[in-house]
Amino acid sequence: MTKKERARLVIDVLAECYPDVKCALNYEKPHELLIATRLSAQCTDKRVNLVTPALFARFPDVDSFAAAEPDEVEEYIRSCGLYKTKAVDIVMMCRMIRDEFDGRVPDTIEQLVKLPGVGRKTANLIVGDLYGKPALVCDTHVIRVSGRIGLTDGTKDAFKVEKQLSAVIPPKDGLMLCHRLVWHGRLVCGARAPQCGECRLGAYCKFFSSCKK
């Protein structure tokens, strides 16, 4: 079986398992997804979703974030961890969006990664979820699960995972596959205690045979 054939089977199985998944972060405006994703670094999506309603009520648009000082933002995001660095990034990214992109969140990875605190994972999520472009969002779950099921060589380097997945995943399937891999990683294929007995990807998983079912 080639990796492309394996990928097609994995795409189909996960589509059956998780037909209606979407990004777990709550947002209504484009800049809100960008900010929520920055907050999610080393923090759970659940925690971010508890924090952002008050944050977005206090700073309702890009201009209000851009006009703020980081210590004002800090007060709303303390529980997200690394809050001082995140507050600076949020303010500075919004100033850059205001001053260099006419207040609109950029729609290309090349432009997005110029924003403070934005890496390829965040940039892929934005272009995929906001603008409907082909994207591969390689977070820790995607990296782990794709390595276990043989879509990548097991590298932990997010950029290498993105490149390896792009070689075997049709562009139209990339974003939803990544969303589904995230949910599968959370619900079934955990880092420390994978639920192999509940996994429908066992036939493609090199970890499966040694797992305690």
Alpha carbons 198 and 182: distance in angstroms, whole number: 16
Please tell me the distance from the alpha carbon of residue 77 to that of residue 201, in angstroms, as a whole number. 38
Largest CA distance in the chain: 55
Q: Which residues carry out catalysis?
A: 121, 139
Question: DSSP letter at 196?
Answer: G
CB-facing half-sphere around the CA of 4: CA atoms within 13 A: 5
DSSP 99-161: HHSTT----SHHHHTTSTT--HHHHHHIIIIIT--------HHHHHHHHHTTSS-S---HHHH
Core vs surface per residue 100-111: b (16+ CB within 10 A) or e: ebeeebbeebeb
CA–CA distance, 70 with 76 (Å, rounded to integer)? 11
Sign of the CA dihedral 44, 172, 120, 36? negative
